[in-house]
């Protein structure tokens, strides 16, 4: 295991210089090639491993540092300004209601402003409505500008808009695959890029990426949905390390099945079933179609957790929500680790016997 202790350094210094990395001895054998170390050949193999571990852990630790102390830009008790996409229903609506309930300001970004008119009417000074399609990358800067014009800042950005497509990979068209990538990756990425300069100037902020347990594991029938969520997760994990030096935190929320409109007949999309996969995916299609209204997760409870984290000093990089997510992700991690260990010697044999430089 790796343990990182952090001491604050002036922001002009490289951020990783303020990190002290301590590696448990049992972890040193797992990295293979490292980097060249001046000062002789004594114990070179161990030195190479240690240097490789240090470089790797420095890069990784920034995604751990993102879980640390909240910046002075927003204190636990201060009102925060949110942008929430897909806020007309489900998680987005629940988050908007929860944030407003604690006294925060919210910009609800929706395709149909009439769907959230009641929120604006109930909170005219703290809730602004923006017409916004989360796939429209060109509109991201205008959405951030609307929040600044109305409330002066953006403390929390929630990329929530999303939906699923159920069907075999071979049944899915390029157009369908690209549409979900636009919705779950390119749209959120554009909005994050639009918000980052403002968050840096403020000295901090929190980015909440609504992913899924399907962003860490997959199964037959959800290849397109998982592809887009896996992409969001990888992009966001790298982002977390890049923006941590500026006091900006990233949370990847990974829910299981919650009682939102996700499984509703007018939201959930199915590919045209091919005879080849009809029997293989019949149970998956039936389960997804029949889940609406009986999902075990409570969106209001989830929203309270997320709003609480936005005001907290520490946040996780990844937050599974719901018992199913905890159980399934735990099992997937154990299975994945077992697979790595089972093939570890074969994998290590692919390296050169010795290396004098980073690979």
Q: Which residues are catalytic?
A: 211, 225, 229
Residue appearing with tokens 């992913």: 211
Residue appearing with tokens 């949110």: 82
| SS3 sequence of 182-196 | HHHHHHHHHHHHHHH
Dist. CA 170–CA 173, nearest whole Å: 8
Beta pairing class for 156-159 and 205-210: parallel
Please provide the distance, in angstroms rounded to a whole number, between the alpha carbons at the two ends of the chain.
23
Asked if residue 68 lies in contact with residue 314, where contact means CB atoms within 8 angstroms, the answer is yes
Asked if residue 247 lies in contact with residue 73, where contact means CB atoms within 8 angstroms, the answer is yes
Q: Locate 331 and state its tokens.
A: 């099992």
Helix (H, G, I), strand (E, B), or coil: what is residue 167?
A: strand
Identify the CA nearest to 34 among candidates 272, 311, 297, 354.
354
Helix (H, G, I), strand (E, B), or coil: what is residue 235?
A: helix
Q: Locate 189 and state its tokens.
A: 């990425």
Q: Residues, the chain, total?
A: 359
CA 6 to chain centre: 23
Q: Tell me the H-state helices in the chain.
A: 44-65, 90-101, 117-122, 140-151, 174-181, 187-202, 223-243, 275-290, 299-310, 323-342, 344-348
Q: How many Cα atoms are found within 13 Å in the side-chain-facing hemisphere of 59?
A: 7
Residue appearing with tokens 């879980």: 67
- Bridge partners (DSSP) of residue 19 are 6
């Amino acid at each position: 295991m790796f343990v990182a202790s952090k001491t604050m350094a002036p922001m002009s210094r490289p951020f990783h210089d303020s990190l002290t990395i301590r590696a448990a001895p049992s972890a040193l054998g797992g990295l293979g090639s490292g980097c060249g170390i001046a000062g002789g050949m004594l114990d070179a193999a161990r030195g190479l491993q240690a240097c490789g571990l240090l470089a790797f852990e420095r890069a990784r630790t920034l995604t751990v540092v993102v879980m640390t102390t909240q910046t002075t830009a927003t204190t636990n008790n201060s009102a925060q300004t949110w942008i929430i996409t897909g806020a007309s229903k489900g998680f987005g609506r629940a988050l908007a209601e929860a944030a407003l309930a604690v006294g925060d300001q919210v910009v609800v970004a929706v395709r149909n402003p009439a769907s959230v008119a009641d929120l604006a009417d109930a909170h005219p000074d703290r809730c602004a409505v923006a017409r916004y399609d989360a796939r429209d990358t060109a509109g991201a800067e205008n959405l951030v500008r609307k929040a600044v014009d109305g409330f002066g800042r953006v403390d929390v950005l929630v990329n929530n808009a999303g939906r699923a497509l159920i069907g075999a990979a071979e049944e899915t068209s390029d157009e369908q695959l690209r549409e979900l990538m636009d919705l779950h990756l390119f749209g959120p990425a554009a909005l994050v890029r639009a918000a980052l300069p403002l968050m840096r100037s403020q000295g901090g902020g929190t980015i909440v990426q609504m992913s899924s347990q399907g962003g860490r594991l997959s199964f037959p029938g959800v290849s397109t949905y998982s592809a887009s969520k896996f992409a969001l997760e990888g992009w966001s994990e790298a982002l977390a390390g890049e923006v941590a030096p500026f006091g900006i935190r990233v949370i990847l929320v990974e829910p299981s099945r919650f009682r939102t409109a996700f499984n509703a007949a007018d939201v959930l999309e199915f590919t045209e079933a091919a005879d080849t996969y009809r029997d293989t995916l019949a149970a998956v299609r039936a389960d997804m179609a029949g889940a609406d209204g009986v999902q075990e997760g409570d969106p209001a409870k989830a929203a309270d957790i997320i709003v609480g984290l936005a005001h907290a000093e520490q946040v996780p990089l990844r937050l599974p929500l719901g018992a199913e997510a905890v159980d399934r992700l735990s099992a997937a991690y154990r299975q994945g680790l077992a697979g790595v260990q089972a093939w570890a010697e074969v994998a290590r044999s692919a390296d050169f016997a010795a290396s004098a430089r980073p690979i």
